[in-house]
Structure 1
Amino acid sequence: MSTTSVDGLVGLDGVLGDVLAAYDLGPSPRASLLHVSENVTYRVDDPATGRRWALRLHRPGYHTLVEIHGELAWVAALRADGVVVTPPVVPTRAGGPVATVAATGTLPPSAASPDPAGLDPAGPDGAERHAVLFEWVDGRSPEPTDPMSLRGAFGQLGDITARLHRHAREWSRPTTFARFEWTWRSMLGDAGRWGSWSEGLVTALADGPGPPGDGPRGDGRAALGLLSRAAADIEARLAAFGTGPDRFGLVHADMRLANLLVPRDASTGDVCVIDFDDCGFGWYLWDLAASLSFIEHLDEAGDLVAAWLAAYQRQRPLTADDVAMIPTFVLLRRLLLVAWLGTHPHSDAVPSASEYARDSCELAEAYLGGRFLTG
């Protein structure tokens, strides 16, 4: 997810030079902004050698340092075990996977240490900035231009996701491994990582004109009531579904086409999976819901789910109860994105946040009526 502004990430540019100095990148590395989301990502070039890297500067307070190490451990294990291609992490001069600089730009003694234990900032949030440098992957995200190609791409997503989940269940995680959980409380509950869905809804509806006439699409109070009923239903269904080990585990959590890189020459390598920044413990079907991010309302959504499921279940069969929960997870993701849009006002993820919010009301009506993603 990208935005057009660095609002909320002020101060990261100020430490960029110190972060680059933590790596052996040649005498004059050049950094250019790629995109801003939860973090800031730069392309870094060494003009002398032509080498290129991707640098991720972490948003203060979004992840602990131990959690960042956990993400990188899974990324490395997936690559080492031959599950999927992932971008290799470039070590710092000290040999560690993470560079840490003080917010003032002064490199603290613990910076770039290869030992992840005990490196979380002792001071208040924002006292230090963390960064990770990845080898550059030359590729492009799939951009299907017709329904048939889109279904094929979702089949590819389902296949890759099944491989990730099988590995997650079998992998012996390091004793220091830590990642947060994607649960009701951390999504739409009182500890929402991306903000309040209700505030996001009100903000979005206020930013654009509603259609003429009555109904939840044009009435903020009616929309809030409708989505509140849907949210309550989602919460109850999640509680009944539970978090058993066959349903809940380590997931990518943003497994979209945008996070696949296809080699520009298909004969030169495999698809690379990127952006594990949101990986954590959640329902396995959360990765299916994430694949539909921002396109849940399309007429083809049911076909895309079917293509994903067909490929996924060739490796990891699901129960009837699992499949029955898919509309719940997809609408949950939709409401979480309403919250995300509300806390990322400069986002270019959708053409119109207000239209996205109004479409969400139609999806909620279909969900409560048992008609959402039912064919």
Structure 2
Amino acid sequence: MLKREGHKSINSIVSEGWPEWNGELRKQPGGWNNTTYVVEKEGQRAVLRIYDTHRDRHKIEFEHAVLQKLGTMSLPFQVPSPILTSAGESLVQLEDYDGKFACLCTYIEGDSPSEGNSSFYESFGKAAGTLSVVLADVHPELPTAYLPYYELGQSYPLCTRGTIRKLYLNPPEPFIDLTEELKILCTTFENIEESLEGLKRLPHQLVHGDLNASNLLVATVDHRQVAALLDFEFCTYDLRAMEPAVILSGLLGHTEEDAVIRDFWWGYSRQVRLSSDEIKAIPMLILLRKMDVFLHFLTRYLEGTDEADVLRTQVKRLSVEVPRLAGDTDWLLGILLEDLSSGKE
């Protein structure tokens, strides 16, 4: 464990773990799971990442093992590359930061997609499809750290059927006004829980598991082109079809929903040809993704990681998206199955 005495600044994480990178740090806009800083020294940059939501070394080591294998391949986009510490490791543990882990990765040139930019989705589809093809042949020697999405019970042991039901039958004080919204989500959870067993027969492989617009960079000179895929923290062995399902889950409700889904699917389906059974399972997998998000934030609330307002925000959003998905199933499958029915390549 990296020993840090007193109350040193965040800079000392870099100076002690990667002394050759000791320079100026700039905090970046953060997500739910990590805090990141750009490190600048003598015109060169790297990215410091502090893992905020878990203290599991094995999870990070598996992520880094995947990235190191991808780093040896010629890809049409970039992925993060861990920089080894002076001790030859890809991460350090921070005693003064409650035992959190940190790593330093190469800096990748590119821009986060702007909110109004919808021009990159075909490129995103191609990149996601290419990654899927490559990950099918990546087999790290370490065991996976995360279970497949369909293992909800094992992934979220605090979220038992009884706990879920009690949540809407007798909601805690901060959620009394969200009884109907909670009922929608809890009833959906109970319904899909009985359908998960049938998914296990579909093809499995290594998947990123969390691809979305916040986990990619577009090229600075051309915002239509994806330059990098980021944040492989949740990479695991899962259904092959789960990868596009996670992405499509985030595209439903987009202001240009029809266009971006068609663009993404055009790019993706030219790289990966899913079977008819896999495609027909995608609406259920999207619903599974929605439930996973709900249980993720419910667990964070039950554990005391998040305040009630965080879960409230997710409940309000998901309770609108889940019923809408049921009405979009035929339309969505029409797009996804179009190539198969027409025989287009």
TM class by smaller structure: 0.7 to 0.9
Q: Following superposition of structure 1 onto structure 2, how do residues 160-309 of structure 1 map, counting pairs within 5 Å?
A: 160-171=127-138, 173-185=139-151, 188-192=152-156, 198=164, 220=179, 222-244=180-202, 247-266=203-222, 271-298=227-254, 300-301=256-257, 303-309=259-265
Greater shift, 156-165 or 173-182, is seen at 173-182
- Separation (CA, whole Å) in 2 of partners of 1:299 and 1:198: 32
Are the equivalent residues in 1 in contact too, given 2:121–2:263 (CA < 8 A)? Answer: yes
Q: 1:333: how far off?
A: 1.4
Partner residue, 2:120: 153
Letter in 2 for 1:231: F
- Please give the alpha-carbon distance, in whole angstroms, between the structure 2 residues aligned to 1:302 and 1:324: 18
Question: Residue type of the partner of 2:327?
Answer: A
* Structure (1 or 2) with the greater helix fraction: 2
1:73 equivalenced with 2:65 (yes/no): yes
**TM-score if structure 1 supplies the norm length?**
0.70
Distance in 2, Cα, partners of 1:364 & 1:201: 23
- Cα shift at 1:322: 1.0
Residues 36-72 of structure 1: per-residue CA shift (max 9 Å, x gap): 42222222233xx13322111123635x323322211
Provide the C-alpha distance between the structure 2 equivalents of 1:348 and 1:89, rounded to a whole number of angstroms. Answer: 34
What corresponds to 2:17 in structure 1? 22
Q: Retained in 1: the 8 A contact 2:36–2:48?
A: yes
Cα distance in 2 between the residues matched to 1:143 and 1:348: 26
Query: What is the CA RMSD across the aligned residues, in angstroms?
Result: 3.9
Kindly tell me: are residues 34 and 199 of structure 1, through their superposed partners in 2, closer, same or farther at Cα, counting changes over 3 Å? farther
SS in 2 for 1:100: strand
Q: Secondary structure at the match of 2:78?
A: coil
Per the TM alignment, residue 262 of structure 1 is displaced from its structure 2 partner at its CA by 1.7
Q: CA deviation at 1:92?
A: 0.9
Report the counterpart of residue 37 of structure 1 in structure 2: 32
1:359 aligns with 2:320: yes
Identity %: 19
Q: Secondary structure at the residue paired with 2:46?
A: strand
How far did residue 190 of structure 1 move?
Answer: 4.9
Aligned equivalents of 2:173 and 2:18: distance in 1? 46
- Say whether residues 1:139 and 2:132 are aligned partners: no
Is the CA contact 1:76–1:86 (under 8 Å) kept in the aligned structure 2?
no
**Could you report, residue by residue, the CA deviation over 1:303-323 in whole angstroms, capped at 9, with x for unpaired residues?**
544433332222221111111
Q: 1:263 to 1:364 in 2, by over 3 A?
A: closer
Supply the AA of the counterpart residue of 1:19: I
Does the Cα contact within 8 Å between 2:50 and 2:102 map onto a contact in 1?
yes
The separation in 2 between residues aligned to 1:198 and 1:15, in whole angstroms, is 42
CA contact (8 A) 1:85 1:272 kept: yes
Q: 1:277 deviation in Å?
A: 1.2
Give TM-score scaled by structure 2 length: 0.75
CA offset at residue 33 of structure 1? 4.9
Q: What secondary structure, in the 3-state scheme, does the structure 2 residue paired with 1:97 have?
A: coil
Amino acid at match of 2:68: A
Q: Are the aligned partners of 2:111 and 2:218 in contact in 1 as well (CA < 8 Å)?
A: yes
Alpha-carbon distance in 2 for matches of 1:347, 1:135: 36
Per-residue deviation, residues 311-343 of structure 1 (Å, max 9, x unmatched):
222222111111111111112212222334443
Cα separation, 2, equivalents of 1:206 and 1:306: 43
Give 3-state SS (helix, strand or coil) of 1:80's partner. coil
**Residue aligning to 2:339:** none
Q: Which of the numbers 88, 92, 113 marks the counterpart of 2:81?
A: 88
CA distance in 2, matches of 1:362, 1:204: 21
Higher relative contact order, structure no. (Cα contacts within 8 Å, ≥ 6 residues apart): 1
Equivalent position amino acid for 1:98 in 2: L
Residue in 2 that maps onto 1:325: 281
Q: What is the CA–CA distance in structure 1 between the aligned matches of 2:247 and 2:277, rounded to whole Å?
A: 20
Question: What is the CA–CA distance in structure 1 between the aligned matches of 2:322 and 2:53, rounded to whole Å?
Answer: 33
In structure 2, runs of 5+ residues without a counterpart are 1-6, 335-345
Contact 1:45-1:53 within 8 A present in 2 as well: yes
CA distance in 2: counterparts of 1:143 and 1:293, whole angstroms:
19
Unaligned runs of 5+ in 1: 1-12, 106-125, 211-218
Asked if structure 2 preserves the Cα contact closer than 8 Å seen for 1:226 and 1:365, the reply is: no
Conserved? CA contact 2:93–2:101, under 8 Å = yes
- The alignment covers a number of residue pairs equal to 317
